[in-house]
Amino acid sequence: MPFTLVTFHAHPDDEAIATGGVMARAAAEGNRVVLVVATRGEVGEVDDGFLAPGESLADRRVLETQRAAEVLGVARVEFLGYLDSGMEGEPTNDAEGSFWSADIEEAASRLAAILVEEQADVLTVYDDHGGYGHPDHVQVHRVGVRAGELAGTPRIYEETLNRDHIQRLMSARPDDLAVGTDAPDPSDFDEMGSPESEITTTVDVREYVDRKRGAMRAHASQIPESSFFLTMPDDAFREAFGWEWFIRRGDRPATHETSVFEGLRGTVTR
């Protein structure tokens, strides 16, 4: 019996970067994949002249999300309808309708309704600091965890970044990763993600990195061709982003997991 995976994200393009491989692999293996996005990314930055006359960035980012979803094999895309809160400390954090200012119970009930409707087996959210502290990412964690509780979703995984893996790779291949107009510095990962010791689940998605990169490319308003995501050599991208990491909530599994569906067979009822 196939499973249903619901991935919950803050903004359009987050899904491609953070869980695009797991989504593509789950879909390819015959499972149902549902993407829920809290906001439409209204306050993202875009070059002058990029949008068509009269087109809003929110409208473009919704269209990009739909295109990325097709690449990844997503069966359903839903937006919760909150406004992008912007980076930490910006006035938009507390604007009326922003996701950061949303009531957690109310927002969780919106997501829980989708989880119940889909009879979700697995929900992915972000780690407790939202990967790198973005207010909307932190709120995804808070709202997502509560929604999973309300819906009784069997498994909740916190998507995170294995900072030790990335730092090792950047030390071993600095020239391959230091490319593009937005290339990261090794120090960027000092506090980003989680240490390897906290990670319970590592999913090998190297077979699906072309789809993952294709989904990133669909988000052209935020991930231009000059981005390090798209200019990195193929083999370096495969090693950097061909793995996706999670922290399973609840009791830590006895052994390190290699799938977000591991051990679910026989425990899920319909």
Question: Does the structural domain 4-248 have CATH classification 3.40.50.10320?
Answer: yes
Give me the pLDDT at residue 169, please. 85
Tell me the pLDDT band of 267, cut-offs 50, 70 and 90: very low
pLDDT at 266 over 60: no
What are the domain boundaries of the chain?
4-248
Give me the pLDDT at residue 63, please. 98
Question: According to the per-residue pLDDT averaged within each range, which of 64-73, 175-184, 226-235, 259-268 is highest?
Answer: 64-73
Give me the pLDDT at residue 269, please. 39
Question: What is the average per-residue pLDDT within 183-192?
Answer: 69
Per residue in 131-185, pLDDT (tens digit) is 989 999 999 999 999 999 999 999 999 999 999 998 888 788 766 666 656 666 6
For residues 236 and 79, the model is more confident at 79
Give me the pLDDT at residue 228, please. 86
Whole-angstrom distance, CA of residue 56 vs CA of residue 78: 19
Helices (H), ranges, 119-259: 135-151, 163-172, 174-177, 209-218, 228-231, 234-241
Report residue 76: phi and psi, to 5°: -150, 135
Give me the pLDDT at residue 254, please. 94
Task: Report the candidate in 131, 186, 181, 117 with the shortest Cα–Cα distance to residue 9.
Answer: 131
* Residues 6 or more apart whose Cβ sits within 8 Å of residue 14: 37, 137
∠ at Cα 58 (52, 61), nearest 5°?
Answer: 80
Strand partners, 194: 162
Percent of the chain with pLDDT over 90: 80
Whole-angstrom distance, CA of residue 97 vs CA of residue 156: 26
Query: Which tokens in the block code for residue 61?
Result: 């980012």
Give me the pLDDT at residue 1, please. 81
What predicted TM-score, i.e. pTM, was given to this entire model?
0.94
pLDDT at 106 over 70: yes
Give me the pLDDT at residue 43, please. 94
Give me the pLDDT at residue 192, please. 85
Give me the pLDDT at residue 187, please. 67
Per residue in 11-30, pLDDT (tens digit) is 999 999 999 999 999 999 99
